[in-house]
Amino acid sequence: MDDFYRDYILDHYRNPRNFGHLEHPDVVAEDTNPLCGDRIRMELLVDANGIVADVRFFGKGCAISQASASMLTETVKGRPLADVARLTKEAVLENVGIGISPARLKCAMLGLKVLKTAAVGQLASWPDED
Amino acid sequence: MDDFYRDYILDHYRNPRNFGHLEHPDVVAEDTNPLCGDRIRMELLVDANGIVADVRFFGKGCAISQASASMLTETVKGRPLADVARLTKEAVLENVGIGISPARLKCAMLGLKVLKTAAVGQLASWPDED
Amino acid sequence: MRACVADDASKLARIVDDFPILRERTVRGRRLVYLDSAATSQKPQCVIDALVTYYSTYNANIHRGVYEIAERATDAFEGARGKVARFVNANPRELVWTRNTTEAINLVAHSWGGANIKPGDVILVTQLEHHSNLVPWQELAARTGARLTYVPVDDRGLHVLDDLDDLLDGVKLVALSHVSNTLGTIAPLDIIVPRAHAAGAVVLVDGAQAAPNMPVDVKALDVDFYAFSGHKMCAPTGIGALYGKRALLEAMPPFLTGGDMIRTVTYDGATYNDLPWKFEAGTSNIAGAIGFGAAVEYLSQIGMEWVREHERSLVSYAFERLRELEPRGLVVYGPRDPDLVADVISFNYADIHPHDLASILDGEGVCIRAGHHCTMPLMEKMGWPATARASFYIYNTRQDVDALIDALGKAAAIFKIDRAGAAGALGG
Amino acid sequence: MRACVADDASKLARIVDDFPILRERTVRGRRLVYLDSAATSQKPQCVIDALVTYYSTYNANIHRGVYEIAERATDAFEGARGKVARFVNANPRELVWTRNTTEAINLVAHSWGGANIKPGDVILVTQLEHHSNLVPWQELAARTGARLTYVPVDDRGLHVLDDLDDLLDGVKLVALSHVSNTLGTIAPLDIIVPRAHAAGAVVLVDGAQAAPNMPVDVKALDVDFYAFSGHKMCAPTGIGALYGKRALLEAMPPFLTGGDMIRTVTYDGATYNDLPWKFEAGTSNIAGAIGFGAAVEYLSQIGMEWVREHERSLVSYAFERLRELEPRGLVVYGPRDPDLVADVISFNYADIHPHDLASILDGEGVCIRAGHHCTMPLMEKMGWPATARASFYIYNTRQDVDALIDALGKAAAIFKIDRAGAAGALGG
Ligand SMILES: Cc1ncc(COP(=O)(O)O)c(C=O)c1O
Ligand SMILES: Cc1ncc(COP(=O)(O)O)c(C=O)c1O
C-alpha cells in the first residue's frame, strides 16, 4: 500500500487537474462514498458529436479518490461519451498503478462511478460489483 | 434424579390428598410455573384462632409439583396460618426427599409459593430466591 | 423410502465425529444422546474454529476499517452473508442479519407492518404457530386496529385448507411456519403461497425449523419474507437472518437506527444506507455471522437432500419403535406420516408428566424437551397440558432412537406403568 | 499523575500475553499495534475459552430445558447476567441483554419513548453523540411530534453547560454519552444528571465508551438507563446490555415479542414474563452472554481503576509525543487534558487525509481508525472532513504509542510533509 503513494498520485492530489466547475455543463453527477465520506462531482460539456469537450470535477476526500478522479478527467477529455459509459475498473487501475488494497478500492472507483453515472445518465451500480 | 420418584411420591401424584375445592374458602391463591406450565391452586379454611381448619389444592402438572403440593396440604392442616407463612424451602425438601435437580426445584416449590401467597395474603417472592 | 442411514453409516459416523460434544463420553461415561436439536443444534468443530480464528487472528470491527484485519473481517462477514444467502437461494442484498428468527419476524411486523397494516386489515396466521410467529402479529393487530385470524389445523396438526379462499379474503399478510416445532408438520406452502398471492397478500414464512432440515429455495417457494435462526442449524447463538424480496425491503422504513445503517446524519435528520445494511444498526454479531457462514458451508457439504432423507428415515424408525409402547399408553401426536413430518416427534407416555419423563431420560443421558414448546394456544386447543418432544438432526443415529426407547422403558419401570398402566392417561 | 504503566510493566506484559492476537507476530513479522479498541476490543483467551467450552461441552437452549446440560447453560447464562450487572453495580433483574448499545438505546426509544413521549415534548441530547444515540431520538421525535434539542459543545469538544437549566426546561428525556467516541470527552454526569432529574427528565446514558474504560456504578451515577456493548470490553460480538431502573422497566411495554418473553399466550392475546426476560424475545445470544460474563470477570481481576489509570497515562504520553509533530502540521482535536479524556485521541496530520494515513500506518502494522466515527454532525459542526483516531485499551503500551509516532514519520516521508509541509492543512 505504501508503494501506492507515488509522486504523481500526490501531485494529482495536491494539484488536481480540471478541478472546479463548468459554467454550463451538459451533464452533472455527484456521489459520496458512504463509508469514508469522500465526495466527487463530475461536470461534462458534450459537443454535437457526442464528444466530451470539457470536464471538471469537484470534491474532497483522500488522495486515492481525488487523484484518481483527477486522472480520469484527463482520460476522458476529448473522448466520445459512449466510450466514457463503457470505462472499466481497469482504466482506473491503469491510471493509479498497482498496490491498492481492497478496502481502498471504493475510494479509487468513486470518480469512475460518478463519471459513468453522468455518462449513462443514471446511477451505475458499483463498478466493483459488475 | 431417578431416585426421586419413590413410591410415596408416585402415590401422592396419582392419589393426591386434599385435592379439589372447598365450598367457602377463606383464602385462595393460585399460580403457574411459567417455564413448565404447572398450575396449583390452594384454598384454605381458617378458624377463629387462625388455625388452618381445612385445605384443598387443585392443579395439574408434573409428579414433583403435584406430589409436593399434596404433601404440603397434609403438613399445614391444623397448623396456625402464621406458621404457614413462615414455611421454608426446607419443609418441602423434607417432604419430597433428596435427589431433586436444580431445574426441577421450581416445580417442587410451586405449591409452597402458592400456599405462602395465600397465607401472607400477597404474592411472595420465589422461595428459592430468598 | 430410501434407507439412507444404513447406506451412509460411515458418512454418519464422520458427521458425529465433527461434533466435539458428541465425540466424548460426557454423560456418566456415556455418549450424549441429544434429541433436542429443534431447540438448538449442536455445533461442529469447523464452526467453533471459525469463531476462534476470527477472535484470535483478525478480530476487528467491519465496514469502516482501513487496516488489513478490518478488511479481512469485513470480507469474512460479507462473505458469510453471501454463503447464507446462497444457502436459501437469495441475493445477498436481500439477506438481513438479525439475532434470531424472532427478531426477523419483529422487524417485519414493525417496519413493514407499521407502514402497511391499517385498521380493519386482516392478518392470517395458523393455529400451530410458535409464539414468535404469533405474538408479534397480535401486537401489530392491537397497535393498528387490524384483525388476526387463523388457518385451523386438524387433530393430527395438519392444516385445514377447505375454507382457505374465504380465509384469505381481504388478507394483507399471511404468516406461517414452514415446519411446526411442536408436531413437525410441514406446511403445504405450494398450495398456500400462490393462493395468498392471488388474494393480494404478502407471505412471511417462519423457517426456523425448516432451514436446518431440508433444502429451502426462497425463490422457488416465492415467499415474500423468510426468517430463520443460525443456532438451530449448526451456527453460533445470536445470529439469524431475514430474507425479503428486494422491492419490499427497499420500500420499508428502517427498524432499529444508529451507526452503520445510515448514509448521512445531520443535527436535523438522517438518510439511510443501501440494502441490506439499512436494517443493521450498530455493531453486528460479526463472529456469529462468520460462524453462520461456516455452518451453512458445512451443511451444504453434507447436502440438504441428505439431511432431509436422513431425518425422514430416523423419524420413520422412531415411529416404528414408539409404536411398540402404544399398548402401555404411549401416544404420538401429530401426523404420523414421515413424508409430512420434518425433524420432530411429540408424544406422551401414560400418566407420566413430560417433565418427569425428561428428568428420568436425562438420567439415562437422553436429552428431550418437555412442555408447551412455545405453542401454548395449540396445546390448549388440542387439550394437551404438555408434551414430550424428541427432535433429530444430522448427527443422530438409530442407536439414539434405541436409547430413547430404552430410557422410556426405564421411565415406565419407575412409574410402574405395567401396573398403574395406560389407565390414567395424561391430560384427562 | 501516577505513572502506573511503568510501575506495572509486568502486569501489562501479562495482560498482553492474555490476548492471542497480540501474542503472535502476525503483521509482516511484527506484533500487531492495535489502536482501534474504541471500535472493538481484542479478546482475551479466557473469553474465547468460555465460548469454546460452552459449544463443546454444554451447548443447549436455556430456561425450559430439564436435562443437565440445559441446566448448566441456564446457570451460566443467568450467572453471566449477574456478573455483568455487578460490574456496573446493577441488580440482575434490571439488566436486559441486547445485541449492542445501539439496540439497547432503540429498546428505550421504542418502548419507553413510545409510551411516554407526546407531541411537543422535548428530548435533549448533546452535539457529540454517536449516531446510535442520535438517530433513534430523531426518529422518536419524528414519530411522536416531539422536538430534539442539543447541549452544545465547544471547540475542544467540552459540554457547554451555561444554559443547561434553560435547555432542560420541559425536557422529558436527556440522552448523552458518558464518553465521546470521537474526542474521548468524559461527560460531567455529576452535574447534568441531578439537574436533569430536578427538571423532571429521565436520563439515558450511552456507556459504550465508558463501561470498557473506567469504573461505572449506575446507582452512584443515578442514571435511569445505561447502555453498553460487550464487544468493546473484551466480550464477544453480538451481546450488549441495557440497565434500567426497575420501576421504569416494569412500567414499560415489551419491545420485541415472541418466545421466552411471554407468560401465557392464547389465540386472543398474551401476558408477559417478569423482568428482565420481558425484554428478551427469542433465543438469546447464549454464548455471547456467557462470554460477556467471562470478560467482566477478567476486567474486574485487572481492576477498572487500574484500567482508567493505565489509559490516562497512555493518553498523556501520546499527547506528549504527538506534540513533537505539531510543527509539521499535526493537529490534535478535543480536550487535551488527560483528566477529561478517556481512551481516544483524534487528530489530523498536515494535508494527509486520514484514510491515507490509516492505510500507510497499516503498512507499519499500526491499526487506527479514520473517518467520521459515526458522529457526522459533530464533524460538520467542527469543520473536520474526517479525523484519524487512535484509541487505547488495557493491552496497549508506550511502545505502541512510539510505534504510532514512528509510523506517522513514515507517512510524513511518503507525503513529503517536510517539503509540501504544514502549508496545506486538511479541510480548509
Ligand atoms: C459512544 C458510542 N455509542 C454507541 C456506539 C454503538 O455501539 P454498538 O455499535 O456496539 O451498538 C459506539 C460504538 O461504536 C460508541 O462509541
Ligand atoms: C417454528 C419456530 N419459530 C420460531 C422460533 C424462534 O426461534 P428463535 O428463538 O431462534 O428466535 C422457533 C424456535 O424456537 C421455532 O421452532
pLDDT digits (tens, 9 = 90+) for A23-75: 999 999 999 887 777 899 999 999 988 899 999 999 989 999 999 999 999 99
The answer to whether D414 contacts A5, with C-beta atoms less than 8 Å apart, is yes
| Top CATH class, C47-301 | alpha beta
Given a contact cutoff of 8 angstroms between Cβ atoms, the answer to whether D85 and D92 are in contact is yes
Return d(Cα C314, Cα C397) in angstroms, integer.
7
pLDDT over 60 (residue D420): no
The answer to whether D48 contacts C48, with C-beta atoms less than 8 Å apart, is no
Tell me the HSE value of A60 on the side-chain side, using a 13 A CA sphere: 14
pLDDT at A97: 82
pLDDT at D424: 54
pLDDT at C30: 81
Which range, of B52-56, B58-62, C333-337, D63-67, averages the lowest pLDDT? D63-67
Question: How does residue B102 score in pLDDT terms, banded at 50, 70 and 90?
Answer: confident
Please give, rounded to a whole number of angstroms, the shortest distance from the CA of D363 to a CA of chain C.
Answer: 8
Return the HEC string of A7-49: HHHHHHHHCCCCECCCCCCCEEEEEECCCCCCEEEEEEEECCC
Return the HEC string of chain B: CHHHCCHHHHHHHHCCCCECCCCCCCEEEEEECCCCCCEEEEEEEECCCCEEEEEEEEEECCHHHHHHHHHHHHHHCCCEHHHHHCCCHHHHHHHHCCCCCHHHHHHHHHHHHHHHHHHHCCCCCCHHHC
How do the domains of chain C map onto residue ranges? 2-31+303-414, 47-301
**DSSP count for chain D of H helices, then E strands:** 18, 15
B34, B101, B102: residue with CB nearest D273: B34
Q: Which residue has the higher pLDDT, C248 or B107?
A: C248
Hey, what domains does chain B have and what are their CATH numbers? 7-120 (3.90.1010.10)
Question: How does residue C424 score in pLDDT terms, banded at 50, 70 and 90?
Answer: low
Q: Which atom of ligand 1 is nearest to the CA of D206?
A: 3
- The whole-model pTM stands at 0.95
Note the pLDDT tens digit of each residue in D35-48: 999 999 999 999 99
- Grid cell, residue D379, equals 464533524
To test the pocket of ligand 1, the residue of D135, D229, D344 to mutate (highest count of ligand atoms within 8 Å of its CB) is: D229
Question: How does residue D1 score in pLDDT terms, banded at 50, 70 and 90?
Answer: very low
Q: Which residue has the higher pLDDT, D425 or D33?
A: D33
Note the pLDDT tens digit of each residue in D140-181: 999 999 999 999 999 999 999 999 999 999 999 999 999 999
Does the complex come out with an ipTM higher than 0.90? yes
* Span from the CA of D206 to the centroid of ligand 1 (angstroms): 8
The answer to whether A63 contacts D356, with C-beta atoms less than 8 Å apart, is yes
Q: What is the mean pLDDT of residues D68-87?
A: 97
Q: What is the mean pLDDT of residues B2-13?
A: 88
pLDDT at B97: 82
Q: Which atom of ligand 1 is nearest to the CA of D132?
A: 4
Quick check: bond before D254 cis, omega within 30? no
Type of residue found at C113: G
Instruction: Tell which of C63, C64, C66 to mutate to test the A interface (max A CBs under 10 Å).
Output: C66
Q: Calculate what percentage of chain D has a pLDDT beyond 70.
A: 95
Q: What is the mean pLDDT of residues D361-380?
A: 95
Return d(Cα D245, Cα D255) in angstroms, integer.
17
Q: What mean pLDDT value characterizes chain C?
A: 94
* Span from the CA of A39 to the centroid of ligand 2 (angstroms): 44
pLDDT over 70 (residue B40): yes
Return d(Cα D314, Cα D324) in angstroms, integer.
16
Question: How does residue D426 score in pLDDT terms, banded at 50, 70 and 90?
Answer: low
Q: What is the dihedral of CA C415, C417, C418, C420, to 10 degrees?
A: 90
Chain D residues touching A35 at Cβ < 8 A:
371
Which range, of C60-64, C96-100, D46-50, averages the lowest pLDDT? C60-64
β-strand partners of D241: D97, D228
Question: How does residue B126 score in pLDDT terms, banded at 50, 70 and 90?
Answer: very low
Question: How does residue D321 score in pLDDT terms, banded at 50, 70 and 90?
Answer: very high
Q: Calculate what percentage of chain B has a pLDDT beyond 90.
A: 56
pLDDT over 90 (residue A1): no
**Shortest CA distance from C261: residue in chain A:** A34
pLDDT at C312: 97
Note the pLDDT tens digit of each residue in D9-23: 899 999 999 999 998
**Shortest CA distance from B102: residue in chain C:** C359
What ligand is nearest to the CA atom of residue D256? 2
The architecture CATH gives domain D2-31+303-414? Alpha-Beta Complex (3.90)
pLDDT over 50 (residue C223): yes
Q: What is the mean pLDDT of residues B42-70?
A: 93
Question: How does residue B127 score in pLDDT terms, banded at 50, 70 and 90?
Answer: very low
pLDDT over 80 (residue D328): yes
- Ligand 1: residues with CB < 6 A are C 259, 282-283; D 100-102, 130, 132-133, 177, 181, 206, 208-209, 229, 240, 374
pLDDT at B2: 64
The answer to whether B61 contacts C355, with C-beta atoms less than 8 Å apart, is yes
β-strand partners of D138: none
Q: Which atom of ligand 2 is nearest to the CA of C102?
A: 11
Q: What is the mean pLDDT of residues A2-7?
A: 82
pLDDT over 70 (residue A20): yes
What ligand is nearest to the CA atom of residue D99? 1
Question: How does residue D5 score in pLDDT terms, banded at 50, 70 and 90?
Answer: very low
Which range, of C216-230, D64-78, D410-424, averages the lowest pLDDT? D410-424
